[in-house]
Amino acid sequence: MTDPIEMLIVDDEPANIQILHAAVGGLGPVRFARSGEQALKLARDAPPDVVLLDVVMPEQDGFQVTRALRSDPLTAKVMVMLVSATCGDADVDRGLECGADDFLAKPAPPALVRQRVRLLAELARRRRG
């Protein structure tokens, strides 16, 4: 029996949230945010193990949210997986430069999403010691 993984899904599009939730819901509790601002508040209130973060969002995009998470001691160690329909080399480079741990192209097979989240959660636990 593995420990539940606490996740936060961030996307401005409800359908994308629900599809990711269908993929990872069995791994542990899942909260969601529909904006970067809301995501940062929820992450500070109760830091999750893994954030699944859309890149293209109005106001704060996923890159900006990643930087904000990394710059706050409360959320600096949270694992961040950027999720985007646009997944070119430049996007991946920029995401990793901002401090993201992983980058996933959507649509993604549910089994792949689950496996990546499991691996990130394991890394998160090691990172926290």
Partner 1 sequence: MDDVFDWPGVLRRINGNAGLARRLLTDFFADHLPLRIAAGHGEDVRRLVHRIGGSAGNLGLTGVAAAARACEVLLLSGSPPDGAEWRSALDRLETCIRVARDGVDAVLAGLPEDSPAEGRAGGEYPVSPGTLAALLADNDLAALAAVERWHAAASPSPCNDDILEAVRALDFTRAASLLAVEEGDND
Which residues in this chain contact partner 1 in the complex, by CB under 8 A? 9, 12-19, 21-23, 25-26, 29-34, 38, 42, 54, 56, 58, 84-86, 106-107, 109-110
Residue 100 beta carbon to partner 1: minimum distance, rounded to whole angstroms: 17
The nearer residue to partner 1, 23 or 120, going by C-beta atoms, is 23
Residue 119 beta carbon to partner 1: minimum distance, rounded to whole angstroms: 20
Which H or E element spans position 82? strand 79-84
The nearer residue to partner 1, 35 or 123, going by C-beta atoms, is 35
> If you compute the radius of gyration of the chain from its CA atoms, what whole number of angstroms results?
13
**Residues linked to residue 81 through DSSP beta bridges, in sequence order:** 52, 102
Residue 126 beta carbon to partner 1: minimum distance, rounded to whole angstroms: 26
Residues 6+ apart with CB under 8 A from 93: none
CB atoms within 10 A of CB 19: 17
